[in-house]
């Protein structure tokens, strides 16, 4: 379980990403064996699909590098990846 301070940081990240306004699915339909990443917050479920990464650490960074420079990525994907990075950081710091 995350400490209250980390939970507050995640709540701020959820708000900053305007998670409630993200579409339910971001990216192209999955290809064969494509990876899908999902985040759920405040009863809302959002899925990023059609992307891939290697390993289980720094997923948001890996996906950004694979997809191209941030400025070329769709806004919804950027917001999702920002929140994904915040979750990864909170969980890693809690160990």
With 0.85 as the threshold, say if the pTM is over it: no
Q: Tens digits of per-residue pLDDT, 1-37?
A: 788 888 899 899 999 999 999 999 998 876 777 788 9
- The torsion angles phi and psi of 43, rounded to 5 degrees, stand at 80, 5
Which among 17, 4, 25, 13 has a CA at the least distance from the CA of 89?
A: 13
Q: Tens digits of per-residue pLDDT, 52-77?
A: 777 777 888 888 888 876 668 888 99
To the nearest 10 degrees (0 to 180), the angle between helices 75-94 and 59-67 is 150
- Torsional sign, CA 52, 55, 61, 66: negative
Which among 40, 52, 53, 42 has a CA at the least distance from the CA of 80?
A: 40
């Amino acid at each position: 379980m995350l400490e209250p301070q980390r939970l507050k940081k995640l709540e701020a990240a959820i708000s900053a990403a305007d998670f409630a306004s993200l579409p339910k699915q971001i990216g192209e339909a999955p290809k064969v064996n494509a990876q899908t990443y999902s985040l759920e917050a405040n009863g809302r479920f959002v899925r990023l699909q059609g992307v891939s990464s290697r390993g289980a650490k720094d997923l948001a960074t890996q996906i950004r590098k694979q997809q191209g420079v941030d400025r070329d990525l769709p806004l919804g994907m950027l917001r999702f990846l920002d929140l994904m990075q915040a979750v990864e950081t909170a969980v890693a710091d809690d160990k």
